[in-house]
Structure 1
Amino acid sequence: MTSFFGDIQKIAFEGVDSTNELAFRHYNPDEIIMGKPMRDHLRFSVAYWHSFAWEGGDPFGGPTFDRPWFGDEMALAKMKADVAFDMFKILGQPYFCFHDLDVRPEGSNYAENTCNLEEITEYFEGKMAETGTKLLWGTANMFSNRRYMSGASTNPDPEVFAFAAATVKSCMDATHRLNGENYVLWGGREGYETLLNTDLTRELDNMGRFLSMVVDYKHKIGFKGQILVEPKPQEPSKHQYDYDVATCHGFLQKYGLENEVKLNLEQGHAILAGHSFEHEIALAQSLGVLGSIDMNRNDYQSGWDTDQFPNNVPEVALAYYHILKGGGFTSGGTNFDAKLRRQSLDPVDLIASHAGAMDICARGLKAAAAMLEDGGLESALNDRYAGWSSAQTKDVMDGATLESLTNWVKEQDINPAPKSGKQERLENYVNRFV
């Protein structure tokens, strides 16, 4: 262990009556929920970038954190890894995630970047073997460097497109070497700021071409993980091509990738798109493209992506309700794409924030499982659509046309009366569990 976290011990489950801020009150990884351990439902992951690479800046102020590993040197990158895996031991979560830029020093060119990534990947192999922590997914940072100011796969400069493609190849190689269970692409700058200088058709076609090359390379190297795309609206571009679940699914269908690529959904991005997290999850389940989630929250008064740790049990419970209803995660999991507030300077803040978030998710999972087992929402859903299940309706609707339905309405003198949606009663029902 390094000295960064002092004498903080491994977080233990102490039950709901515990007042210890560094204990789990709800997250008991061995507790059986709907037939399997809680750890296997939640599949927690720590985001390397926010926890260890973020310096505490915001749109109006520079860094507030002063971590001993900040700097572009390999020795510091390895110190960062030592501290990260110390935290993983303390939390006991099974996974972590990273961008290439989070874990390696920035080189002067592609060759140096790749060499640095390969060196830290080898270092990770030892740390992962020592701790048992696994890689949920890897990805490439193709938005921070000024070369990506006009996007990566959608950039008007083919040299930037090629550099981005080479970078993704190196990151997929690292993810494959570390037995990552997914590989994620998210377009931090895949969008436009003005249509005055934007060729939408070219940019969308290039984005489709890029993703198709990723899928081809996955199969070429024998990577068994799932390729994921992460919807992200509005920020930082005026318009992002990967706006939400519906937009991404349409994109995947257009380029014939809907059977190869699924989605990694973030709560904060759902809010920025004007949706709830449960909406995005339920829609992705309906379309067959739910892969994994980034669990966080936004400040509803700020209007931008604040990436705070989750603390709203009803929101979390409804998210997991739809995940469980769809059969749960396969290769995906719950990644905490969340960061400390700029004023939360102490090392213990990193531990407490994650421990609290894990507890919130566990509490939400238990509520979601209880609702599913009780069956109240499913019963109400079945009642609402019961008319579609009757034998008569099925006979009428099979091969129906406007003419045949018109005849049915006339012959049966159909004059339907509206029925209550019972929304408030269903909201009261949910509140019984959360």
Structure 2
Amino acid sequence: MTDFFNGIDTIKYEGPGSTNPLAFHHYNPDETVMGKRLEDHLRFAVAYWHSFAWEGGDPFGGQTFLRPWHPQDDMGRAKIKADAAFEMFRILGQPFYCFHDADVRPEGADYRENTDRLNEITDYFAGKMEDTGTRLLWGTANMFSHRRWMSGASTNPDPDVFAFAAATVKSCMDATQKLGGENYVLWGGREGYETLINTDMKTELDHMGRFLSMVVEYKHKIGFKGQILVEPKPQEPSKHQYDYDAATCYGFLQKYGLEKEVKLNLEQGHAILAGHSFEHEIATAAALGVLGSIDMNRNDYQSGWDTDQFPNNVPEVALAYYHILKAGGFTQGGTNFDAKLRRQSLDAEDLIAAHVGGMDVCARGLKAAAAMMEDGGLEDELNERYAGWQTAEAKAMLESDLGSITKRVLDQDINPEPRSGRQEILENYINRFV
């Protein structure tokens, strides 16, 4: 056991008038929004890697956090880390958590030892989950940190690395199913290239497509009921990653016949790195039928890299949840805080406060999104803007050809004038709710 969080009470909802930094001001899990509890809308999860495995380093400096489970190199300390993690889940009332295999068990000498350690710690998790009621939103395999993955996992030029990756994913899918996980995620941080000089892109993409097909085949073989999710990111750590953004991923899934089997786990920070907004990525995935789950965080717009900070921009978050609600809300997905403390934030209280603030921002954003949905102002504007396409003549045009359309333009003397997009009016409308 550990006394890491000693003195920190269970976080309670105290309302917007409270000045208590360790209380919810906007997140009341039992508040009903659009006929559904706020907890059931948001489906919050803690990311095990940033909250418990990360040691506070950055590219220019090493460890700043000193935790009771450091160094993370034996199973005894892995269980101390689990004790602290589940204590934090209890304090926050978190319904879910997520993990990579390398977050929860120390690296072994070989695949067999890795798997034995993963099985041992997930057996330990099972008891903790029963005690706390916390569930597993998703599991995944870390196939980017260890040196064996330096040239990729499924895209590696060495078939032995491909084999090690396949076996690793199998063990992680087995662990995820054992714990009742609702999704399984694949993020290809090294599935890409540093230079095209030594890269056979077609071969790598084909191998990556076959690997993902094997994952889907194994899902059905073991009867896993969760979603298989791919997480887009354009670069970092690789110069170019094949899962660049939502649209690129969908094209990849279509090419390999997986668009009905695999959905996307979208991250705010990754969307920004790809040159998009978060709502763009969510709206794209929803339009293509592959919206699965989200990682909630933010980047520092000055830094230009993936800083993984906790969210604090309510208007951005509100627009993201607006498109999620418009798509029908989460089913098996949720809101995972793929976010970490700043390396100067050393204390246990900092870790709790970061999640409290993030949960409040998400609650404010979702409630604003729900209010806009119920008001209907944005949908009314969209319906008005596209109303011309509801006419029989416009619908028939889509079934016509260029020659017939040209004849219609000439016969009816069509000479359209542009109409205002009313962007500023709509931005002002959104500001009424956030």
Q: Please give the per-residue CA displacement for 1:137-178, whole angstroms capped at 9, x wherever unaligned.
A: 000000000000000000000000000000000000000000
Deviates more, 1:331-340 or 1:58-67: 58-67
- Distance in 2 (alpha carbons) for counterparts of 1:238 and 1:307: 19
Amino acid in structure 2 at the alignment position of 1:415: N
**Equivalent position SS for 1:8:** coil
**Residue correspondence of structure 1 range 244-393 to structure 2 within 5 A:** 244-393=245-394
Equivalent residue, structure 2, for 1:32: 32
Report whether the alignment pairs 1:412 with 2:390.
no
1:77-92 equivalence runs, <5 A: 77-92=78-93
Alignment of 1:33-432 (within 5 A): 33-70=33-70, 71-395=72-396, 397-432=397-432
TM normalised by structure 1 equals 0.99
Per the alignment, residue 22 of structure 2 pairs with 22
Shift of 1:6: 1.4
Residue-by-residue CA offset, 1:303-332 (whole Å, 9 max, x unaligned):
100000000000000000000000000000
**Structure 2 Cα separation of the partners of residues 147 and 394 of structure 1:** 55
Once residues 271 and 398 of structure 1 are traced to their aligned partners in structure 2, the CA distance between those partners, rounded to angstroms, is 35
Superposition TM-score, scaled by structure 2 size: 0.99
For the residues of structure 2 that align with 1:232 and 1:414, how far apart are their CA atoms?
44
**1:268-287: CA deviations, max 9, x gaps?**
00000000000000000000
Identity of aligned residues (%): 79
SS in 2 for 1:262: strand
SS at match of 1:228: strand
Detail structure 1 runs of 4+ shifted over 6 Å in the superposition: none
Amino acid at match of 2:66: D
Give me the whole-angstrom Cα distance separating, in 1, the residues matched to 2:50 and 2:36.
30
Q: Is the contact between residue 2 and residue 86 of structure 1 (CA under 8 Å) also seen in structure 2?
A: no
Q: CA deviation at 1:93?
A: 1.2
| Larger mean Cα displacement after TM superposition, 271-280 or 403-412 | 403-412
AA matched with 2:275: G
User: Is 1:11 paired with 2:2?
Assistant: no
SS at match of 1:13: coil
Letter matched to residue 155 of structure 1: N
- Of 64-73 and 339-348, the range deviating more from structure 2: 64-73
Report the alpha carbon displacement of residue 398 of structure 1 after superposing the two structures with TM: 4.8
SS in 1 for 2:421: coil
CA distance in structure 2 between the aligned counterparts of 1:398 and 1:277, rounded to whole angstroms: 31
Q: CA deviation at 1:232?
A: 1.0
Offset at residue 238 of structure 1 (A): 1.2
Shift of 1:236: 1.3
What CA distance in whole angstroms lies between the structure 1 residues aligned with 2:336 and 2:400?
A: 46
Contact 1:100 1:140 in 2 (8 A): yes
Match of 2:139, SS state, is strand
Q: Match of 1:85, as an amino acid?
A: F
Match of 2:363, SS state, is helix
In the alignment, residue 328 of structure 1 is paired with which amino acid? Answer: G
Q: Which amino acid aligns with 2:406?
A: T
The secondary structure found in structure 2 opposite 1:24 is coil
Please state how far the C-alpha of 1:394 moved relative to its aligned partner. Answer: 2.3
Instruction: Show CA shifts across 1:90-119 (max 9, x none).
Output: 000100000000001110000000000000
Q: Which residues of structure 1 form unaligned runs of 5+? A: none
Cα displacement string for residues 114-135 of structure 1 (whole angstroms, at most 9, x for unaligned residues) = 0000000100000000000000
Give 3-state SS (helix, strand or coil) of 2:153's partner: coil
Paired residue total:
433
Give the whole-Å Cα distance in 2 for the aligned partners of 1:161 and 1:49: 24
